[in-house]
Structure 1
């Protein structure tokens, strides 16, 4: 019964999966045909970012279009009573649906992730940016967890809300919110971060992406550590470990002596470099990519199991 009810969604998903697979196989072949691998990030970096962002929507789409209508539609139309009147236990009815379609969601996400991971390997090896929030979520095994989480959240939300369209909207937004929160709040803390103190010479400051903050504080942004994901950078610190005063920072930022220096921040970098400043940085080495992938998969599978348990309890006790 579950498979018959799901045939339209399954056919649409299979069709899109085949088209995407053909594209990714061709893309991977084109990438591997490039002889000068140092050019790969400039040639394919934006493509990989676009694909990763698109694949990042898959869990939300799975939750909204596969999960949310699964139970809500039956409750709206009353077809669930037909099944239950045939002596099918409620929990078994729900468990079969969650299992069959949850596995289908995992298969789709796993296939997409495997193909994109394979296609992107040469680009990722040169770029070395394995922990980017968007790219990380479209590689390895983590997308499998995202998909089953989105589907299970959708199914349970539909069971609780009992209206298809509101459930679809709620689930889509909720999954997107989780996809934003996890990389920023949880992922940096899966393992204890490594720490290092980096001297802020003029050259180092010029390699940063930005200086200052919205409030004008002594902040340097985008200082990188080779083969690592920087999770936290302190404010600019003086040799005695104190935060550089706003007044001293503003003086260099707005009234730096003219030296004719070049670079991104020019005279400002020279002025700050003379103050013997440093920053304390926390980072995760790129070698932890796969441990983080498995941790994130386990996290989402665990949450999905809890959601399924809530759904099984609810369908037995509260749904009529």
Structure 2
């Protein structure tokens, strides 16, 4: 059984091994480069006056590269499901070779379980290795950027990709078993798993644990630390703020600007400061606008997940994908008896 699985999977395994070697070579090069740049950044932080600029330059040098790498490696589970999972049974059914296998002494269930175990283990090793390599390469940057909860970053680091790969592979196997044709099964698997990968971070992940809440007064200094003011709808919104004293926290929700009694600041007051703030010569990202808004005695309410919960979220999400994958495996084993 193992020999048969190897013969049928060896070309896929060879392609995966070559791809992993290429990924490893680049990430090893990038990892050492990031560490050299991080050491240079730390040396410049001996002078507090230049530390902020050095931090900004270090993050800017690698932000786009690491984001693209996280997005690219995030597609590995999709490819595993489409190219390893979907054809696993669909090709046998499409070509009719399943009749020969199923007429042997081995049962259908045992045959399918053996195939899932053999190829599935290879999928986990491949996805886990790529994830650990990227995690190692990006670790100095991640410590500085403090964005481990970012939607793309979270899904490309540590153990979560192992769960993604398992679910995607089993999903492809089940779809192939139901559709019985390889190309449609590959397409359906890719689309369905991409939908899952969009839905989980936005609809499910924020609810793994009840969020903490806090309020932040909108002083001119705090407003100038934001990344944006306002919105396309004209709402009195502020974005890009961090939880005081917890830069690595995941801010899941920031309220609109609110007055001292908890009401949303009137649009006329907000737009007045935004568009025609009195000239004070104030410096900072938003200058006079920040000074104008600070005089309105405003605050925002945060909902956030502390950085200390990161590993709990990683384990929870990985476990969720593994459990759903196990359920789909049971469905496949039940279905194969009637195929």
What's the CA shift string for 1:92-121, capped at 9, x where partnerless? Answer: 121111111111110111111111111222
Which one of 276, 280, 302 corresponds to residue 259 of structure 1?
Answer: 280
Tell me whether 1:2 sits opposite 2:5 in the alignment. Answer: yes
Partner Cα distance (1:91, 1:124) in 2:
44
For residue 77 of structure 1, report the CA deviation from its aligned partner.
Answer: 0.9
- The count of residues paired between Structure 1 and Structure 2 equals 318
Alpha-carbon offset, residue 248 of structure 1: 2.6
Q: In structure 2, what is the equivalent of residue 110 of structure 1? A: 128
Distance in 2 of aligned mates of 1:235 and 1:31: 37
Residues 199 and 278 of structure 1 are in contact (CA less than 8 Å); yes or no, is this contact kept in structure 2?
Answer: yes
Deviation at 1:219, TM superposition (A): 1.2
Per the normalisation by structure 1, the TM-score is 0.94
Determine whether 1:70 maps to 2:97.
no
TM-fit CA distance, 1:307: 1.0
- Among 187, 190, 210, the alignment partner of 1:169 is 187
Are 1:36 and 2:57 matched, yes or no?
no
Distance (Å, rounded) in 2 between the aligned partners of 1:263 and 1:163: 60
Instruction: Give the aligned partner of residue 138 of structure 1.
Output: 156
Displacement of 1:255? 3.4
* Distance (whole Å) between structure 1 residues aligned to residue 63 and residue 114 of structure 2: 42
Give a deviation string over 1:73-107, Cα, whole Å, max 9, x none: 11111111111122332211211111111111101
Query: Which moves more between the two structures, 23-32 or 37-46?
Result: 37-46
Q: Quick one: which of 271, 281, 297 aligns to 2:302?
A: 281
- Of 202, 205, 222, the residue aligned with 2:220 is 202
Measure the CA separation in 1 of the matches of 2:41 and 2:196.
35
Match runs of 1:142-153 below 5 Å: 142-153=160-171
Instruction: Establish whether residue 291 from structure 1 lines up as the match of residue 306 from structure 2.
Output: no
For 2:170 and 2:311, locate their aligned partners in 1 and report how far apart those are by CA, in whole Å. Answer: 25
**2:248 is aligned with 1:220:** no
Q: SS of the residue aligned with 2:304?
A: strand
Corresponding residue SS for 1:36:
helix
Instruction: Measure, in 2, the Cα distance between the counterparts of 1:261 and 1:175.
Output: 50
Describe the SS at the equivalent of 1:165. Answer: helix
Q: Distance in 2 between matches of 1:293 and 1:195?
A: 21
* Distance in 2 separating the partners of 1:20 and 1:147: 17
Q: Give, in whole Å, the separation in 2 of the partners of 1:32 and 1:23.
A: 14
- Which secondary structure does the structure 2 equivalent of 1:86 belong to? coil
Give the C-alpha shift of residue 262 in structure 1: 3.5
Q: CA RMSD of the aligned region, Å?
A: 1.7
User: In structure 2, what is the equivalent of residue 156 of structure 1?
Assistant: 174
Matched residue, 2:48? none
Q: Where does residue 64 of structure 2 map in the other structure? A: 46
CA distance in 1, matches of 2:36, 2:275: 49
1:180: how far off? 1.9
